[in-house]
Chains A and B, each alone.
Chain A
Amino acid sequence: MSMQVTELKNTFSAAFESLQSGVSNRLPLWVEDLRLRALEHFEAVGFPTTDDEDYKYTNVAPIARGNFQPAAASDASGIIDPAHLEQFIYEEADGRRLVFINGFYDAELSSLDALPAGVIAGNLADALNGDAGTMLKNFLARGAETSGDDAFTALNTAFLASGAFVYVPRNVRVEAPIHLLFVTESAGEAIATFPRVLVIAEPHSEATIIEDHTALVEQASYFSSPVIEIYVDDEARVAHYKVQRESIDALHVARTRVEVGRAGIYDSTTINLGSALARHNINLQLRGEGSETWIDGLFFGEGTQHMDTHSLINHLEPHCTSHQAYKGILNDRARSVFNGRIFVHPGAQKTDAYQSNKNLLLSNEARVDTKPQLEIFADDVKCSHGATVGQLNEEELFYLISRGIHPELARNLLTYGFAEAIVEKIKVASIKRQLDEAILNRLHASLEA
C-alpha cells in the first residue's frame, strides 16, 4: 500500500472521528453502526489504483492527492442567496424541490408545497430518526451486503449525516418531477461532499426524480461522491434523470444502485457535462419478473475532461428487458471510458438486453475506451451489444455543405444531431432546453445561419 493512500485514509479517518465527537447530528444506533462498518470497509479496501481492472483507465490518484476535507453542515448553512440558485431551477419541479448544500439538506432553500398526499420528500436524517426509521434498515446501503461496496460508496456511507429521502406510497402517482438539487459551495476550500439519496417507490406508484449535481463557482475544485439508491417495487414506475453539471475542476465519483421488482419500470437518463474527472458506477438489479428498464446517457467532454461510466445490469429473473444507449461526444483531449456489463443469471429466461455505446470524436487527440460485455448463463435470451467510435461522417457533411450550409455550421448540426436521440427522449422540457443550450455552448455556436 502506498504512503499516499495511507495518508488519505488517515485524513478521512480523522474527519470521521471528529464527526463522531459532534453531538448535533446523531443518527439511530443501527445507522451509526452501519457508518462505522462502512469506514472499516473503506479502510480495508482502500482507494482503487490503476492496477484494479475496474480502474484501469481511470486514475483516481488526484482524489488521493487532493487532501479533501469532508464538508460539515455548519460550513454552508445560511450562506447561499436563493437568487444564486435561479440558474439551476427546473420550473416543472416548482414546489417539489429539495436543495442540498455540500450534501446537507437545506430546508430554507427547499420548497415542498406541491407534493401529493402521502408522499414524503425531505431530509434523509429526519426520516432515519423518525418513527418509521427502522423500516429503512432494509433499504439503506443494501448493496453493501448483497454485492459488497467499493471504496467510494463505503466512504459515502461512513459520512452519512444528511441527504434526500423520497417515498412514494402504494398507488400514488407523482406526475411532476421531484428535483434533488445538490449544490457545492466550497468557498475556495478543497472539500469533499457525500450526497446521499434513498428513493422508495411502492407497488403501483409513479415518480420522476431529477438528481442534479452542480456548483456555485464554475472553477471550484472539490471532490463529490454521491450515492443514490432507488427501489422500484412491483409494477411501480420511476423515471430518473441524473444531471452531472459539476464545476469543471471537480472530481466526481458516483454510485447509482437500483432494484426493480416484478413488472416495474425504471427509465434513466444520465447527462454528463461537468467535472475534470467523472466516474459513474451503475448497478442495476432486475429482481422481479417482467421488469423493463432503460439506462441511457449522454456525455460531452472537452479540454482534458475524463468521463467514465461503468455499469452492471443484473438480469436475475425471467422476461426482463434492459435497453442501454450511451452516446459520447469528445472534443480536444477529452477522454471517455465505457464499460457496460450485462449479466444474465441462470433462470433469467426470455431476457431481452440491448446495449450500445456510440462515440463521436471531434478531435484527433480525444480518446475512447469502450468495452461492452455480455455474460449469459441462460439459454433462451435475446442479447445484443455494440460500440462505435468515429468522426463526423464525410458524406453527411458534404450533403449539408452542398446545400449552402457553412462547413462549421454543418459540423455543429451533425454533432447536435448525434446527441439528439438522447436529448429527444428527455420528457422534462426545461432539462431538455438547458441541455440544448449546454451542447450549443460547447459547440460555440447557435444553430442559426
Chain B
Amino acid sequence: MLEIRDLHATVDGNEILRGIGLKVRAGEVHAIMGPNGSGKSTLSKVVAGHPAYEVTGGEVLFEGKDLLELDPDERARAGIFLAFQYPVEVPGVSNAQFLRLAYNEKMKHTGDEELDPLEFKDLLAERAKIVEMDPGLMSRSVNEGFSGGEKKRNEILQMAVLQPKLAMLDETDSGLDIDALRIVAEGVNKLKSPDKAIVLVTHYQRILNYIVPDFVHVLYKGRIVRSGGKELALELEEKGYDWVKELDREAATVGAQ
C-alpha cells in the first residue's frame, strides 16, 4: 500500500529525514518509535503533504502511484489520513459542518452519494459512539475549548468518518490518561480491517499494549536504525533510548567499513 524509498526531507533547510525506507501492506499495523527529534512526526507530515516540509530526495508510492505528485487534499481523498499530535482549533467552523464537507469531498471523489446535514447527523452520531464522543461537541467549533483527550478522540472520530486506507496516528497517546487512552485505542481497533493499514508514531510503548503492531521501527536522527516485530517495542522500553544511540553508532561504524 505504502512504499517509502530513501526519503530525505528538510524543514527550514535542516535535514530531518536522511534516507527512510518503509513498506506498509494492507491490513498491517506498523509502529514507528524513537526519541524526541528523531523525525517521527516529520515522516507522517511529509506523507500527509505538510507544506513546511520539503522533500529533497527519494520517493513515496501509495498504491503504486507517486504520492509526492499529489496535493495534500488529493492525498486525503486518495485515502491518507493523519491524526495530528496537536489537533488545530478552528474557531467559527463547527465540527459537524467541517466533517460533513470533508466526508462529501471524499464521496464526490469516489463517486458515492453525498449526504445533506440531516443524513450526516445520523452518520456522525453513529460514528461518535466508536470513541464515546459527546454528540454535543459536534455543534461546537472544531477542537475549540476541547480538552486534550477530546481533541485526540476527535481525531479518531474523523478517521471513523473518513475511513482512510492508510491512517497515520502521530503521538495520539500523548497527553491521554489511561481511560482516554483505552477509548482511543479501542476506537482505532474497531476501525482496523484487512484492507486498511495503520502507522502509529509514538514515543512510548504504552499504546502498543492496546493496538498491537505487526512491525516496529526505531527511528533515530532521520533514519530507521532497527526494525522488528512487536517484541522490539518491549526491548526498547526496557533498554531505553540510549540503546538506540548505540545502535546508531554501530550502524555508522558498519557504514564506515
Q: Which residues of A are in contact with B by a Cβ distance under 8 Å?
A: 394-396, 398-407, 409-410, 413-414, 416-421, 424, 447-449
Among the interface residues B81, B102, B114, which one has the most CB atoms of the partner chain A within 10 A? B102
Known: A396-B88, A402-B72, A405-B73. A417 touches B101 (CB 8 A): no
Judge whether A400 and B108 touch: CB under 8 Å. Answer: no
Asked if B46 is an interface residue, CB under 8 A from chain A, the answer is no
- Min distance, Cβ B85 to any Cβ of chain A, angstroms: 12
Q: Which residues of B contact A (CB under 8 A)?
A: 48-51, 71-73, 76-77, 81-82, 84, 87-93, 97-102, 104-106, 108-109, 114, 141-142, 158, 162
The 7 closest A-B CB pairs, nearest first, are A417-B92, A420-B92, A404-B76, A449-B104, A403-B102, A399-B88, A417-B93
Please state if A402 and B93 are interface contacts (CB–CB under 8 Å): no
CB contacts (< 8 Å) of A419 on chain B: these are 92
A-B contact pairs, 17 of them (CB 8 A): A394-B51, A395-B88, A396-B88, A398-B88, A399-B87, A400-B93, A400-B102, A402-B76, A403-B99, A404-B73, A404-B77, A405-B73, A405-B101, A405-B105, A406-B73, A409-B101, A413-B98
B225: min CB distance to chain A, Å: 28
The verdict on A413 contacting B48 (CB below 8 Å), with A399-B90, A401-B72 known, is no
A419 to B142: give the CA distance in the assembly, Å: 15
Q: How many A-B residue pairs have CB under 8 A?
A: 93
Query: Closest chain B residue to A394 by CB distance?
Result: B51
The one of B51, B81, B158 in contact with A398, judged by C-beta atoms closer than 8 angstroms, is B51
Q: DSSP majority for the A interface?
A: helix
Q: Please determine whether A414 and B105 come into contact, CB atoms closer than 8 angstroms.
A: no
Instruction: Tell me the minimal C-beta distance from A48 to chain B in angstroms.
Output: 36
Q: Select one of B71, B76, B84, B93 contacting A413, CB under 8 A.
A: B93
B98 touches A403 (CB 8 A): yes
**Distance between A119 CB and nearest chain B CB, rounded to angstroms:** 36
How far, in Å, is B175 (CB) from chain A's closest CB? 18
- CB contacts (< 8 Å) of B93 on chain A: these are 400, 413-414, 416-417, 420
Of A395, A403, A418, the residue contacting B92 (CB under 8 A) is A418
For B102, what are the chain A residues with a Cβ–Cβ distance below 8 Å? 400, 403-405, 449
Q: Which residues of B contact A424 (CB under 8 A)?
A: 92
A421 touches B50 (CB 8 A): no
- If A396-B88, A414-B90, A417-B141 touch, whether A401 touches B73 (CB-CB below 8 Å) is yes
Chain A contacts for B81, CB-based, 8 A: 403
Interface-central residue, B48, B98, B104, B106, by most chain A CB under 10 Å: B98
